[in-house]
Structure 1
Amino acid sequence: MMKMLVHLILGLFVLKAAVAVPSRHARQVELDTYDSASYDIDLENLNLETQDIYDYSDILTIDEPQIEIGTLAPLVDSYLAPTASLEEGEELLQGPPFSASATSASATSAISEDSGDSGDSGDSGVSVDIEPDRGPTCLLCTCLGGSVYCDDLRLESVPPLPKETTHFYARYNRIKKINKSDFAQMNKLKKIDVTGNQISAIDEDALFGLPALEELVVRENNVAQLPALPASMVLIDASHNRLGRRGIQNEAFKDMHNLMYLYLTDNNIAHIPLPLPDSLRSLHLQNNNIQMMHEDTFCNMKDFNYIRNALEDIRLDANPINLSKTPQAYVCLPRVPVGNLV
């Protein structure tokens, strides 16, 4: 009897536990119902205002740095602009030396190669436009307006220039001479800069007939005789040449009433070239062989009221001259020359 009672109690306990555990099917139904309720959102009835979304941008802001945009510095004048040194020019240049006499032939060849032999001039993709009267030099050099730049091209002579040229630059080449024909009838030419060539001679009449010429720069050459120059000159720079005792003609600068800058540094010059025009502002004669100076070199000893206000920059340093021996020579000047005072 007792055994039967224990089995009955045990059976009730198992039945109760089985009823309490949900069925596997019921749990799946419950999960499916939960998933549907949680994720099936009615997007059409979703009542979200656009402004509510954009309001977050007012809360979450990022401080961005301010960027200032400036302008490039203007280009400096071509005369003061840095130029390649002789060593740099040798490294950058390749190919055989250029002779101006071969310019026309090489330019013609270049044009024929670009145009092609197919006869199709409209769709060739490459065209060479040469302005009238510009000449083949502008294929070799850079022509900008009236300026022609032929720097560092191993030129052995002055190339034929367009008649409208106003400024000519042929620095650091191998030019050995300036001929009379190089600048013939160049009535608009204002500046010639042939710094750093091998020029040893300039024809006497090569530059005198240029009515508009104002600046001549022949520094770092082997010039032994400065040619006659027009009265329109404003700047003459023949520094680092071989002018010596006889390289400057007598009264060479007398009629140049617009001359302001005269640079003759390192030429073994033995005297100051007189007379100097009243317009002169800067005179550089350092590192020469000037040994003496007269009291009327700069001043007028017959007129003690004469004052030369323009001449403010005189360089006589590195010359064998004692400036203290001629104190009366500077009474008309705004500044005492730079040089040996002992």
Structure 2
Amino acid sequence: MKLVQPILVVLFMNSGIWCQDQEYLTRLEYFYGCPKECQCPGRSSNALHCDSRHLSVMPLVPSRILYAYLQNNLIDGISDNSFKNGTQLKWVNLNKNKITNSNIPKGIFKKMENLLYLFLDDNSLEKVPSPLPASLEQLRLARNKISSIPEGTFSNLAKLTLLDLQGNRLNDFVIQPNTFKGLKTLLQLNLAQNGLTAMPEQIPVSTLQLYLDKNSIKEIPTNYFSSLPKLSFVRLNHNEISSSGLPDTIFNVSSILDLQLSYNQLTSVPLIHFRLQHLHLDHNQIKKINGPQICPLPVSNIYQKPIGENQPQLRYLRLDGNEIKPPIPIELMMCFRLLSAIVI
């Protein structure tokens, strides 16, 4: 009698791998496609975690991945194959690496037609990478070495709502009238800590928040804010703005709710709109406050009318770090009766 060796057959019934060839390959990629130096936690995970792993080479991103976390590594470039299968990516975080423009294949980001968030803070970029996908909603490029923005870089980014360029090497010659053309839905523009000496030209009309801290801006052109009807937050801290560099009614704008002018060279409190709610004037050279002059409405009206929508809305005022001595003028308190905090 001939003995037949038993054949061991293992069926992966629970994992569902026992199936047709194409589906079998798809599931193999699903379970085993995660790069060995990274982690794809969870059976149904669409996230790739490669952050803080001392990587110097960009791993290959599997096709199922929607969120790629690659920050805090030593990656200095991106290969043509890095995102070859990452066509579904929505979120790419490459913050705190060593990426340079010369090591980014041209058009590699544009191929990601579903990309919404691209984070490249704290790298070694010398110019804004382009072309970029039209789907992009947030672009973060803070603290690089950017001194150039190629013409037309933002022309197709109609969905971009946030552009962060703080901490770079931008100057007045880089920011041209057409630099931000195409940004039709931009809400936040951050140009803080660059080399600007003048207010940037032709900011998108949709802008709500404009950050220009830590530049060398000396003055603001007349009617600068009249072309920005939605602007609510303006930060100009740590510049070189003097009272003579401010037109009389420059901040008499109904949309501005939060105005920050700390650490400048102001010698007087600028006129404001009655809708302004937060005003930062600390660490300037202001010596005194004239209540009737800075009140956005006639003081006689303030005494006669009850608090309402047409009354000054200022709730927070910082004046410390100046040369102002108490007491606070009674007219100031009567004008701004909604003040919950004043720092002198």
Paired positions, count: 222
- CA–CA distance in structure 1, aligned partners of residues 264 and 97 of structure 2: 30
> Retained in 2: the 8 A contact 1:284–1:316?
yes
Shift of the alpha carbon at 1:157?
A: 3.5
- Give the greater-gyration-radius structure (CA): 1
Provide the residue aligned with 1:152 in structure 2: 143
> What 5-or-longer segments of structure 2 have no aligned partner?
1-71, 73-95, 117-126
Contact 1:267 1:287 in 2 (8 A): yes
Counterparts of 2:132 and 2:144, CA distance in 1: 8
Task: Give the corresponding residue for 1:326.
Answer: 329
Q: Could you tell me which residue of structure 2 aligns to residue 270 of structure 1? A: 267
Partner of 2:280: 284
- Among candidates 172, 182, 187, match of residue 184 of structure 2: 187
Does the 8 A contact of 1:226 with 1:249 survive in 2? yes
Amino acid paired to 1:272 = V
Task: Give the distance between the partners of 2:208 and 2:299, measured in 1 at CA.
Answer: 31
Change over 3 Å in CA distance of 1:217–1:263 after alignment to 2: same
Larger CA deviation: 293-302 vs 278-287: 293-302
- CA contact 2:276–2:312 (8 Å) conserved in 1: no
From 278, 288, 294, the equivalent of 2:290 is 294
Do residues 242 (structure 1) and 240 (structure 2) align? yes
1:142 Cα deviation from its structure 2 partner: 10
Describe the SS at the equivalent of 2:331: helix
Q: RMSD of the TM alignment (CA)?
A: 3.5
**C-alpha deviations, 1:255-274, integer Å up to 9, x for none?**
x3222110000011112221
Question: Quick one: which of 146, 152, 161 aligns to 1:166?
Answer: 161
Q: Percent identity?
A: 17
Aligned-pair CA distance for 1:183: 1.5
Q: Shift in Å at residue 158 of structure 1?
A: 4.0
* TM-score under structure 2 length normalisation: 0.55
- Compare the two structures and name the one with the higher helix fraction: 1
Residue 210 of structure 2 aligns to a residue in which SS? strand
1:324/1:140 Cα in 2 relative to 1: closer, same or farther (>3 Å)? farther
Tell whether the 8 Å contact from 1:141 to 1:150 is kept in structure 2 after alignment.
no
Counterparts of 2:129 and 2:210, CA distance in 1 = 22
* Contact residue 142 and residue 149 of structure 1 kept, 8 A: no
TM-score (norm. length: structure 1): 0.56
Is the 8 Å Cα contact of residues 141 and 149 (structure 1) preserved in structure 2?
no
CA 1:202–1:335: 2 relative to 1, 3 Å? closer
- The Cα of 1:278 is off from its aligned counterpart by 2.4
Q: C-alpha distance in 1, partners of 2:285/2:189?
A: 28
| C-alpha contact 1:244 1:268 (8 A) present in aligned 2 | yes
State the secondary structure of the residue aligned to 1:328. helix
Following superposition, the deviation at residue 137 of structure 1 comes to: 4.8
Equivalence for 1:206: 202
Superposed CA deviations along residues 152-171 of structure 1, whole A, max 9, x for unmatched, are 22101345224312211012
Within 5 Å, give how 1:104-115 maps onto structure 2: 110-111=105-106
